[in-house]
Structure 1
């Protein structure tokens, strides 16, 4: 994204945002001095997040800056077929509602800290626990790398190249690590709230300005009817298959993101969690729906852009609006400041959960079970810092081959869904069958992705999930479970 209008003003906004985030971290640290000594306090905010803060931290987890910058260009290129982007997020909420309330109850009952905690208590299998932790850490590291690259590109674009890509990456990562270290989940949740408000304000100002100066969707529809009528039509059979598969992959995969599940455990009460989800149910229309309309309006505002040029659509529209009057000038500056804030807030959530899985599930459970909570928190921070340094080195000059790593994120993460969700309801799920299915699904999905194999147009992650489910369900039915395993499962989930 390019914002020629944003040089000095963009720097002012970014510096102000960075100072505000550091202030939030310092305030949180000073008001919760036991934050260094308690895993619950550091990683879950003391399990006391209220409705509004919980809502915004879920919002920041689900809607990154990529939603605002990346979705309009796609709508621009393919037209009304991209309405499917709204059901993406609706399906994520539906997936949450299927298991989140029950998982919250178990989280309170067993003091669960991470999703891996749940798997360990439910299955009592070292193999399942470690494999799930590895898949989750891979997905989190992958996601974190994406955010680092996006931060650098966003800062460079907002400041018109005044701040180079690499400087932008380092600047915001240092700030992110600082306030995350100081305030843990509370700092992350409070900054999520700030960025959520800024992002929503900017998005609606972009929509209002686009409607005023570029015309509404009807103007774009007339142009599409004349030049590209396929953008007004329904997708063909292959397109329907593609989007249906993507709905399943993203709808299930995003719902089992470890940092999303950790927010379930951080809710003050089950009622708080449900009220937050009720508010989240409207956000696909308010966020994805709005940026979809912006992309459609862009067809009339900037017709005949190439694929590469269309990737800068939001920046072009923001530039045009900023030149109209001073109100839209600052509104567009705030929009892209909010976009970068959204990216940073996504990254801090991922980093926090990455650290918690390392400190609690690997170090605390298998390496040093007798370690104090303060030491576990410190180990998580240090390992997280090392991971950040490694990822920054990779992000410094991101190679094109990273694309294959990016697309593996959901393909591998979705393989933990049977363990996380089936384990909540089915006491006869065999831990050995579950491990075999999870491993087979991950290997198949990874192999098909790197080979480029997609039979029937179905994503490799879904083929892996199908194999995963067949193995774990069929083998569980054939092998059964031992009496002690069944008794333990019944004790944990309270049903046969």
Structure 2
């Protein structure tokens, strides 16, 4: 392996440059005082245009886990990990199923937090609080994932010149400063920066990988000869798991709280639909590319154990950059883009977490008369406390990025019925919806804690979702429609 070209002062200089740019964006976004209201701070006043909305949706779906965590998973799983492409396609399909309709209702009702829809649609405090609990769990888990990815990404791409712990602390401070200053607008604008850098960078990374391995045909031949088990047809359990993951991630990622908040932030329904149309191309342009990168790692760096493979992207990026000046410059772009992607995804989750605590807990149950400025301040402080609390966990991460990634989906996917069925089915009642969501969470969480799944290749989260839907649908059909359900159903 060649010497790590990003090690030393050059790697530090690149990180500093991107940090300065993100801080400037935060300052610019916060000008004019538009972040003083809850709607202005948490949803950019519903004014995001098509380009900004596209990139912030892109950053929400393609996090640090996608760029840093997926190639190692492909390295360990082989062609079985091609499932990552169709499950990203499934996310877009589910977005198109409910997001435009949710936008119309949100615009009419002035929603700010993701839970606002649940409260307005069902009028149930206990259902709203359960929704809040699942959202906060998912968001906390999501931020933890990004902190781990941040450390691995910076350490790998600088050849350990910047250690894991230093990289995490430095960039969460940058993240908190610019998101505190500019709110959703700053987050979305930094997403544009990282999205452009990442798209160009991963395209260059693919070109460099093809050059290093001699082409896709040569790579496939190499794998067939050296690791035939990684290119063979999956067995029945793997095939079932493939399909189950597509369903679970398709519905789970589409109802991320920070994804729903981006739906609220669109300037118009047409803007939202155009952004989603562009997103339909991104699974192949992003997930497909990093899959190939991970597979190429088997030829470039054979024999890596699980821990070493977690830094695969950094190792390959340095190999590509060592070829010539053009690749070096493009890998600088990728380097910054990956770090920005991780940081921008983390700040999205922190912002959503802050809005839920400030609006749904503090603003409704602790201080119902609080001003918008007070709720925004509480949200900011809670976000800071949450990030530093999770640092203790990120210091000694509980598993690979993929294991963390799957864990959050077991519970977050239980939110899908309340948003998707709740938008379209007038008879859906709050009581059965609550008990269905609770049962789904208990089944999924209990099976995960007791290490009982997957069940014949089906993850526990999907088993819980099935129980959730059955209880919700059968129970709702058995009860009388409430006047509130009829009123909201007539609107949507």
TM-score, with structure 1 as normaliser: 0.94
Q: What are the Cα deviations for residues 14-42 of structure 1, in whole angstroms up to 9, with x where unaligned?
A: 11111111111111122x32312x11111
Count of residue pairs the alignment pairs up: 489
CA distance in 2, matches of 1:161, 1:300: 23
Q: What are the Cα deviations for residues 455-478 of structure 1, in whole angstroms up to 9, with x where unaligned?
A: 222111111111111111111112
Alignment of 1:216 with 2:215, yes or no, is yes
Change in Cα spacing, 1:220 to 1:405, as seen in structure 2 (3 Å) is: closer
- CA contact 2:65–2:145 (8 Å) conserved in 1: no
Match of 1:195 in 2: 194
Change in Cα spacing, 1:304 to 1:42, as seen in structure 2 (3 Å) is: same
Change in Cα spacing, 1:310 to 1:157, as seen in structure 2 (3 Å) is: closer
Match of 2:288 in 1: 289
Matches within 5 A, 1:97-176: 97-176=96-175
Task: Pick which of 165-174 and 256-265 moved more.
Answer: 165-174
CA distance in 2, matches of 1:251, 1:12: 38
Q: What are the Cα deviations for residues 353-379 of structure 1, in whole angstroms up to 9, with x where unaligned?
A: 111111111111222222111111111
Match of 1:21 in 2: 22
Alignment of 1:33 with 2:29, yes or no, is no
Using the TM superposition, give the Cα deviation of residue 402 of structure 1 relative to its aligned residue in structure 2, in angstroms.
Answer: 10
- CA contact 1:86–1:289 (8 Å) conserved in 2: yes
Alignment of 1:328 with 2:335, yes or no, is no
- CA contact 1:220–1:300 (8 Å) conserved in 2: yes
Matches within 5 A, 1:264-343: 264-343=263-342
Q: Name stretches of at least 5 consecutive residues in structure 2 with no aligned partner.
A: none
Match of 2:465 in 1: 465
Q: What are the Cα deviations for residues 222-276 of structure 1, in whole angstroms up to 9, with x where unaligned?
A: 1223233333332111111111111111111000000001101100111100100
TM-score, with structure 2 as normaliser: 0.95
Match of 2:9 in 1: 8
CA distance in 2, matches of 1:311, 1:163: 16
SS at match of 1:398: coil
- CA contact 2:65–2:401 (8 Å) conserved in 1: no
CA distance in 2, matches of 1:289, 1:250: 16
CA distance in 2, matches of 1:404, 1:310: 14
Q: What are the Cα deviations for residues 282-324 of structure 1, in whole angstroms up to 9, with x where unaligned?
A: 0111111111222333333344544444433323322222222
- CA contact 1:10–1:337 (8 Å) conserved in 2: no
CA distance in 2, matches of 1:42, 1:406: 28
CA distance in 1, matches of 2:365, 2:49: 33
- CA contact 2:199–2:286 (8 Å) conserved in 1: yes
CA distance in 1, matches of 2:239, 2:343: 34
Alignment of 1:433 with 2:439, yes or no, is no
CA distance in 1, matches of 2:472, 2:269: 30
Match of 1:240 in 2: 239
SS at match of 2:5: helix
Change in Cα spacing, 1:440 to 1:265, as seen in structure 2 (3 Å) is: same
Task: Pick which of 207-216 and 90-99 moved more.
Answer: 207-216
Aligned-pair Cα RMSD in Å = 2.0
CA distance in 2, matches of 1:324, 1:195: 24
Using the TM superposition, give the Cα deviation of residue 405 of structure 1 relative to its aligned residue in structure 2, in angstroms.
Answer: 6.5
SS at match of 1:5: coil
Match of 2:474 in 1: 474
CA distance in 1, matches of 2:487, 2:128: 16
CA distance in 1, matches of 2:121, 2:432: 14
Change in Cα spacing, 1:282 to 1:384, as seen in structure 2 (3 Å) is: same
Match of 2:248 in 1: 249
Q: Name stretches of at least 5 consecutive residues in structure 1 with no aligned partner.
A: none
Match of 1:378 in 2: 377
- CA contact 1:3–1:316 (8 Å) conserved in 2: no
